[in-house]
Structure 1
Amino acid sequence: MFTDNNYNLTNGNIITLNDIVPIANTITVSNNRIESINSPNSRYKSIDLNGLTVLPGLVDSHFHLSNFGKRLEMINLKGLQSIQEVFDVVNEKINEVGPKTFIHGFGWDQTRWNTQEFPTNDILDYFTDNPIILTRIDGHSLWTNKAAINLSTYTDDLISPEGGDIINQCIFIDNAMDAIRAIIPKNSIEETTRWIKTAANKAMTWGITNVHDAWQDPLIFESINNLSESNELPIRCYGMVGASYLELISDMLNNGHYINKNYTVRAVKAFIDGALGSRGAALLEPYSDAPNSCGLTLISHDEFLDIASKCSEANFQLCTHAIGDKGNRMVIDVYSKYFKEDYRWRIEHAQMITYEDMLRCQQFQIVPSMQPSHCTSDMRWMKDRIGEHRTHRISRWKTFADLGLPIPGGSDCPIEDGNPLFEYYAAITRKDHDGFPEGGWHPDEILDRMSALKMFTTWAAYGEFSEKKRGKIEIGFDADFTVLNNDITSCEPEEILHTDVIMTIVGGKIVYSKL
């Protein structure tokens, strides 16, 4: 692979997102940065791109490195169409590993099944010798068996904790998951490091140059920090420390923003509610298919105020998961109390929100960090879940953009696939990969192609305070590029799904190449 630090990329279709030179044919790289545009340096070697398209390095603004790597080693339940299929996959795994072994799976989704109902406890209780923990596709509920429950602190009456729910004696939602997760053997530093390396290496093949890692515990922090220090982290990472890790947060807030080569930590991640798929998202009005429930609130008002106060004092960014319209309103209520210029506090997902609260986001300069594929994954059952009269509140990208709010784009991988081209496609079509529905779901919220591209470049850079050095192809900026075999700003939408990444370049280093 080409390893020179000084070189020209020539004969390219270079989309800069730079108003002065919006389209270029040559970039010159020197010492990890962009030296010139359209003025090749004759002293440097050149790479002829033969018309390939070059974009500013693509960023996933909501990713889970460790979980992605870990779940590649679990039973894959994504896409399974019935309870029977899940049962068969679990049975096959147990026959492979034998009794007493923990069985972990990820990705089941009851909305894909004919019944669309949560499973009952008799299914997994068939397996008496193996504790089984299967995580739903949204990460907000677990399906488990009696063998696992018996290892936990739960008693036979299975009382739901505050901010959680237990259904059918086997489905544990949001805060109810904590006691089940506590029985899982602790991860080691070696395992965590392996998962992160696996995830980062996969991400760079998707053209990703940077991820915003949206929940870091002390082990993840140590692993990523060690990888960055030893130059084994091939992409950049912007870390959000999990709000429940008080000791790590205290150290961070006391010592200030942390930067170690490709790794930066200056944000805290909190949760206000759950997800729509498991009916844990906090709604202003009851669920249409569960009229006695408005969802769950996962943190008390006082606890959230305390986190916000500490972040404000230390000048740390606060990034809060909020999906339901009530959840988003609760976050905005607290953020408004600590508003100051350029604080850039983020709402992660902002999936369901009223227009009145969007105006408050504009007023308080709140940054909506959104994942386009959440819309296209959830749209088929959304009418049943919240009613036709509320579906217009879902994934309001165009309205946010029209209000002048930058929208960092991401995938929430491994919840979604993680390929940023799939996210871009969803943003400009509001269709699934089969082209459904014709015209797009709530097409008034479709983004134009350049705005969608900004979600994963300039707006993503803004979401991590790096817009003065990344997110565009501009002289003096970091040399982060994604090279494609297709111009996704002008090709047929369906072609985007089949576009190949040819090179990924991070700080001038070619970390992935098919050339």
Structure 2
Amino acid sequence: MGTLWHNGTFFTLKQPNEAVDAVFVKDGKIVALGSKDTLLQDFKQDITHIKDVKGGYVYPGFVDSHLHMIGHGEKLRSLDLSEAKTSTEMKDWLEQKARESGEEDWVLAEGWNENNFSDRKIFTRYELDEISPQKPLYASRVCRHAALVNSEALRRASISKDTPDPAGGVIERDESGEPTGYLMDAAADMIKEVMPPVDKEYVLQSLKRSVEDLLAQGITGGHTEDMNYYNGFSETIDVFQTLIHKNGYRFRTNLLIHHEQIDEMNRQGFSRGELSPYLEIGTMKIFADGALGGRTALLSEPYSDDPENYGVAMHTHEDLKMLVKKARQNNMPVAIHVIGDAALEHAIDALEQFPPVEGRDRLIHLQVARPDLIERLKSLAVILDLQPRFVATDFPWVEERLGEQRLASSFVWKTLLDEGLHCAGGSDAPIEPPGPLLGMHAAITRRHPDQIDHPGYGPEQKLSRFEAVQLFTSGSAFATGHEHRRGLITEGYDADFTVLSHDLFSCQLEEYLSADVFMTIVDDKVMFEKE
């Protein structure tokens, strides 16, 4: 059985603007490229299906190299504060959520970002008490490295004036030492520990909603980190297997396993590698620091707008090395969350001391990367996992955090590519929207879509259109060691395609934001088609 895909422009991505008119696929693999007539002639005995892409522009399937799939589904199902433009609007939405919640429910929301507000307001526990005086309230910041809670939530978690900061976290306090309700990183996890556990059906439905949305946005696969937040490894891996293997959702899923779940993974008999053509276990995930928004990213020099603060190390320098060593003992690469330059330096130290046994390591985010650290990266077997959309949403407030001098070594995507480092592109959804075209637009323009006349933040770091598309195709394939089977449209590669209404190499840049997804094709099967 074979399929002839035709009536489109199929970009091979082997080099800029290289394209063909049709592609013949057999058993899920691309067999030949060319014109429709030639392929019909050459493979007439094997062609059992002829499928029309309706004049669309076809790319290798877009893959998000770093996101949280279940978290994205949760965001789609919960109160999303990311679009609140004022603190008053955020308050109104929380009040409505509190009214609608049952008497025994927690009031849950996520995505708030004080940098979207003209007054930069961060609510206190007492203000949240007015919104929800009796029900516990938990509102996660957009970065998911900080949260706001009310007094009832603090009470349930036994967080008081006398509670010390946990390792890797900060309980913000007022002048008298009382918690303000603003919790960072591990301190926010103290609240999560007393929340009612989510049940398996909730997690499954969240994952289902996520995958359906990702497919609708032209995404054929994702590298996701979810395995430490939904009742542990065993239950979460079963949810993925249920959706992908039993329910037939074709979506190329690479699982990052949080370091706290590695022992459970081993006890359940799992190890790194493919579980099926659509599900595989990849790397061990480690957090080295927090985020710039909450000033918990670990910097080598203090924050420009908080001179006593260097950020938060999630692990000591030595403990980080031991976690990398543990990954090696399990024959696994690591994926380390590093945003600040001090965190990046600690990660490089660990990778240099304990190189990978097999596969490639990842460093995720790299928002502050000093030139000396970039030079050291060049000698490592490492993938740099970038989220271009952060440039669109973190500026201009990030200039206040870092100061002018550090900006020259921050968000330097073009420099990383020019230095010959391998980079992949993702969204970090639900932190940012998962649309690959949003990420590509940000990589090319270095500005928010609303800032049409802006020259771009750090314009010398703008990527070409070809480089931007590569991040989400061949770059993501390289990150998982699949560069010889995915990321291009060429012979022998998997038949994963994203079909768009626009030619990304010639359309107006603003049309990236309005382009339609005609089809999303995974393993020669249409998984989404626009009506």
TM-score by length of 1: 0.95
1:484 deviates by 0.4
User: Deviations along 1:330-349, whole A, 9 cap, x unmatched?
Assistant: 11111111225864211011
1:490 paired to 2:506: yes
Whole-angstrom distance in 2 between the partners of 1:339 and 1:253? 25
User: C-alpha distance in 2, partners of 1:234/1:445?
Assistant: 36
Q: Map 1:288-303; keep pairs closer than 5 Å.
A: 288-303=304-319
Question: Is residue 2:178 matched to residue 1:167?
Answer: no
Q: Quick one: which amino acid aligns to residue 32 of structure 1? A: G
Contact 2:274/2:280 (8 A) holds in 1: yes
1:54-93 correspondence runs (5 A): 54-93=58-97
- What whole-Å deviation, never above 9, does each CA across 1:294-342 have from its counterpart, x for those lacking one? 0000112333222211222333120010101111111111111122586
Q: Does 1:419 align with 2:430?
A: no
**Residues 66, 220 of structure 1: 8 Å contact kept:** no
Partners of 1:210 and 1:251 lie apart in 2 by: 27
Per-residue deviation, residues 424-448 of structure 1 (Å, max 9, x unmatched): 1111111111135622110111111
Q: Name the amino acid aligned to 2:194.
A: I
2:159 equivalent to 1:154: yes
Letter in 2 for 1:487: D
| CA distance in 2 between partners of 1:67 and 1:467 (Å) | 27
- Alpha-carbon deviations, 1:383-435, whole Å to 9, x = none? 11111111122211111111111211000011001101100111111111113
**1:402 is matched by which residue type in structure 2?**
D
Contact 2:332 2:356 in 1 (8 A): no
Quote the residue 2:444 is aligned against: 428
The CA distance in 1 between the partners of 2:268 and 2:317, in whole Å, is 23
Rounded to whole Å, the distance in 1 between the matches of 2:274 and 2:251 is: 17
Cα distance in 2 between the residues matched to 1:330 and 1:437: 39
Show the counterpart of 1:178.
189
Mean alpha-carbon deviation: is it higher for 249-258 or for 489-498? 249-258
Q: Quick one: distance in 1 between partners of 2:2 and 2:221?
A: 22
Letter in 1 for 2:225: A
Displacement of 1:21: 9.8
DSSP 3-state at the match of 1:407: strand
Q: Residue 27 in 1 paired to residue 23 in 2?
A: yes
The residue identity in structure 1 corresponding to 2:378 is Q
8 A Cα contact 1:243 1:249, kept in partner: no
Cα pair 1:224 1:233 within 8 Å, conserved? no
Correspondent of 1:402 among 418, 421, 438: 418
- What is the match of residue 108 of structure 1? 112
The residue that corresponds to 1:207 in the other structure is 218
1:15: Cα distance to partner? 0.6
Residue in 2 aligned with 1:260?
276
Who is 1:9 aligned against?
5
The structure-2 alpha-carbon separation of the partners of 1:287 and 1:227, relative to structure 1 and needing over 3 Å to count, comes to: same
Decide whether the 8 Å contact of 1:10 with 1:47 is kept in 2. Answer: yes
CA displacement, residues 128-162 of structure 1 (integer Å, 9 cap, x when unaligned): 21100000000000100011111113234343222
1:141 and 2:157 matched = no
- Secondary structure at the aligned position of 1:510 is classed as strand
User: Do structure 1's residue 448 and structure 2's residue 464 form an aligned pair?
Assistant: yes
2:205 counterpart of 1:194:
yes
1:102: how far off?
A: 0.6
Which residue identity is paired with 1:6? Answer: G
Alignment of 1:88-99 (within 5 A): 88-99=92-103
Task: Pick the aligned partner of 1:53 from 46, 57, 67.
Answer: 57
Letter in 2 for 1:29: V
Using a 3 Å threshold, how does the CA distance of structure 1 residues 474 and 465 change in structure 2: closer, same or farther?
same
The answer to whether the 8 A contact 2:4-2:50 is kept is yes
1:371 aligns with 2:383: no
The Cα offsets for residues 454-490 of structure 1, whole Å up to 9 and x where unpaired, read as 1001110000111111111111111000000100122
The secondary structure found in structure 1 opposite 2:128 is: helix
1:511 and 2:515 correspond? no
Q: Are residues 398 and 97 of structure 1, via their aligned partners in 2, closer, same or farther at CA, if it must alter by over 3 Å?
A: same
The alpha carbon displacement at 1:175 in A equals 1.1
Q: Give the superposition deviation at 1:243.
A: 1.2
| Cα drift, residue 117 of structure 1 | 4.5
Aligned to 2:137: 132
Instruction: Tell whether the 8 Å contact from 2:126 to 2:151 is kept in structure 1 after alignment.
Output: no
**Deviation at residue 273 of structure 1 after TM alignment:** 0.2
Counterpart Cα distance in 2 of 1:287 and 1:21: 44
User: In structure 2, how many angstroms separate the alpha carbons of the residues matched to 1:185 and 1:302?
Assistant: 34
Contact persistence 2:125–2:181 (CA under 8 A): yes
Could you list the runs of 5+ residues in structure 1 that have no partner in the other structure? none
Number of aligned residues: 511
Q: Which amino acid aligns with 1:142?
A: A
Distance 2:243 2:277 in 1: 10
**How far, CA to CA, are the matches of 1:116 and 1:194 in structure 2?**
35
Cα distance in 2, alignment partners of residues 485 and 409 from structure 1:
21
SS of corresponding position for 1:385: helix
Query: What is the aligned partner in structure 2 of residue 224 from structure 1?
Result: 240
Match status 1:122 vs 2:138: no
Separation in 2 of the partners of 1:130 and 1:92?
13
Residue 255 of structure 1: how far off its partner (Å): 4.1
CA distance in 1, matches of 2:121, 2:260: 32
What's the Cα RMSD here? 1.9
| Structure 2 SS opposite 1:147 | helix
Q: Structure 2 unaligned runs (5+)?
A: 174-179
TM-score w.r.t. length of structure 2: 0.92
Deviation at 1:125, TM superposition (A): 1.7
Q: Deviations over 1:249-270 (max 9, x none)?
A: 4448974434233100021111
| 1:186-215 deviation per Cα after TM superposition (whole angstroms, max 9, x unaligned) | 121111111111100100000000000024
| Change over 3 Å in CA distance of 1:162–1:49 after alignment to 2 | closer
The one-character-per-residue Cα deviations of 1:336-387 (angstroms, maximum 9, x if unpaired) are 1122586421101111111111111111132110000011100110111111
Q: Does 1:393 align with 2:393?
A: no
- 1:310–1:375 Cα change, 3 Å: same
Partners of 1:253 and 1:316 within 8 A in 2: no
Mapped to 1, the partners of 2:411 and 2:153 lie a distance apart of 37
- What is the identity, as a one-letter code, of the residue corresponding to 2:104? K
* Aligned pairs (5 A) from 1:335-350: 335-339=351-355, 343-350=359-366
**Range 71-80 or range 405-414, more displaced:** 71-80
Deviations 1:214-252 (A, max 9, x none): 242313222102222214323110000111224324448
